[in-house]
Amino acid sequence: MVVGELAEGIDLLVIGGGPGGYTAAVRAAQLGRDVVLVERNGGESGLGGVCLHVGCIPSKALIELAGARGVLRRLSSRGLVVGDPGVDLAAFQKDRTETVSRLARSIRRLLTGAGVRVVHGEARLTGPRRAVVRRDGEASIFFEFRDAVVAAGSRPAEPPTLPRDGSRVLDSTDALALRELPRSVAIVGGGAIGLELASAFHALGSRVSVVELADRVLSGMDAKISHVVQRSFKRRGIDVHCDARVVGDDGARLLVTGTGGERRLDVDAVVVAVGRKRNVEDLGLEAAGVAVLADGEVAVDGQRLAAPNIAAIGDLTEGPSLAHKAMAEALVAAEALSGRPSVFEPMAIPSVVYTDPEVAVAGLSEQAARRNGVDVAISTVPMSVSARGATMGHGEGIARILADRGSGVVMGLQLVGPHASELIAEGVLAIEMGATLEDLAHTIHAHPTLSEAVFESARLGYGAPLHGSM
């Protein structure tokens, strides 16, 4: 220890104030731990992390605005008399800021109420039980801790061929902060983030193109899902270019090459959404004896422990970069470090893409089943079997159940359609409880509701369909 680096002894250190970090801090405090949470962004501007400030919440607010405009336009042909609704993004940004600030204050109250001490600064581990927090304009703080939870999150990846400039070439954070709607925009990346932005900007009135390197959008999901989404995008007038690569941008046109030849896309803005990069560079993980893999992933066990007294959660670990996955891991980490028997072994983690129509999947995919030699039976019905969809004027999409062919146990649910994000919870519960197709087929679903599509899919798989299949 260097002279002047007098360390303060603390019980449990949490690095990161995002969904995983603040959840771990609150749960540990509930278990009687004395917790210090370090968040690098000052004040309440950092509590809630990327998800609250520049990710999940702002994007869903924009999607809600876009969806409302879409509903008004769709219902104009069904008797609703309205003009073409306009969009004021400056007013949206004001409301977004107020909403995010309100939620950040609620997280601060949650932490304060639990007795968690919040320190603002950049935390770096300097040993298995030591850390330094560097603060702008103030003296650094040195901690000696008993246990730690690292929840440092991730940031948008930036391809070298298309560097962000913040004005024309944007990342997802920039796109969500726009105060004027671009007349035309190219979205580079056909994953969840890219497609959400594409769907939202199109509904708001922009001309939208999507450029995806793989041979289909949502390449991590089953091809059936990709096909339904791409068909819907095409019908709405969104151009999707797959097997395509961006090779240049002259400030007015985006140069794209691929199996379809060379194209020049005339666009006002380019949004790069090609994934995320883990924030592991400046954490000092190696000094603490924590193994970091080549892609930045932190290796953890079932209790999320990366070292005997250090847990890592959220985007730093294997699996999807999802807030709810980080929060579930946080509960396990806090309990395991506090001597409670706890392990992270979910049967299903729901994944949602908030496009129009929405996409939601949980459990085993057809791709994974084939890789693992699992024999699954798949039953698919159109969302149009739901009369509720017809009354909404929005019945496109599918409900798809994957079940073990021998036992009928539900192993996966895939949905494309309105409010799929809400409907997927039934599938997650069914998978976690080991429910069968018969269980779902004999469960009474309210009529008319969108959930009846899941019911119909289960009946089809069970061998007793009522309204047909596709």
Q: Dump pLDDT digits (tens) for 79-112.
A: 888 888 889 999 999 999 999 999 999 999 999 9
Class of domain 169-274: alpha beta
pLDDT at position 77: 80
Domain 8-56+92-154+277-337, what fold?
Answer: FAD/NAD(P)-binding domain (3.50.50)
Is residue 4 very low, low, confident or very high in pLDDT (cuts 50, 70, 90)? Answer: low
DSSP states of 85-109 as a string? Answer: ----HHHHHHHHHHHHHHHHHHHHH
pTM of the model: 0.94
Strands 253-258 vs 244-249: parallel, antiparallel or unpaired: antiparallel
Is residue 468 very low, low, confident or very high in pLDDT (cuts 50, 70, 90)? Answer: low
Is the pLDDT at 330 greater than 90? The verdict is yes
Angle (CA) 186-197-68 rounded to 5° is 125
65: burial class by Cβ within 10 Å (0-12, 13-18, 19+)?
buried
CATH superfamily of 351-462: FAD/NAD-linked reductase, C-terminal dimerisation domain (3.30.390.30)
pLDDT at position 126: 97
Is the pLDDT at 469 greater than 90? The verdict is no
pLDDT at position 42: 66
- Say how far apart CA 169 and CA 188 lie, in whole Å: 10
Catalytic residue among 241, 324, 419, 447: 447
Is the pLDDT at 3 greater than 50? The verdict is no
- Say how far apart CA 46 and CA 65 lie, in whole Å: 25
Q: What pLDDT, in 10s, does the model give residues 26-81?
A: 999 999 999 999 999 866 668 999 999 999 999 999 999 999 998 888 888 888 88
- Backbone φ and ψ of 438, nearest 5°: -60, -40
Q: Are the C-beta atoms of 49 and 313 separated by less than 8 Å?
A: no
Is the pLDDT at 303 greater than 50? The verdict is yes
Which range, 71-75, 256-260, 428-432, is most confident? 428-432
Q: What pLDDT, in 10s, does the model give residues 355-388?
A: 999 999 999 999 999 899 999 999 999 999 999 9
Within this chain, domains 8-56+92-154+277-337 and 351-462 share the same CATH topology:
no
Q: What pLDDT, in 10s, does the model give residues 189-243?
A: 999 999 999 999 999 999 999 999 999 999 999 999 999 999 999 999 999 999 9
**C-alpha neighbours within 13 Å on the C-beta side of residue 23:** 19
Is residue 332 very low, low, confident or very high in pLDDT (cuts 50, 70, 90)? Answer: very high
Is residue 261 very low, low, confident or very high in pLDDT (cuts 50, 70, 90)? Answer: confident
Angle between helices 89-114 and 19-30 in degrees, nearest 10: 20
Least confident of 11-20, 26-35, 244-253: 244-253
Tokens of 452: 């009846």
Residue ranges of the domains in the chain?
Answer: 8-56+92-154+277-337, 169-274, 351-462
- Averaged pLDDT for residues 276-302: 94
- Averaged pLDDT for residues 152-163: 89
Contacts of 179 (CB under 8 A, 6+ apart): 89, 90, 93
Is the pLDDT at 270 greater than 50? The verdict is yes
Helices (H) and strands (E) in the chain, counts: 13, 23
Is the pLDDT at 446 greater than 60? The verdict is yes
Known active-site residue 227: no
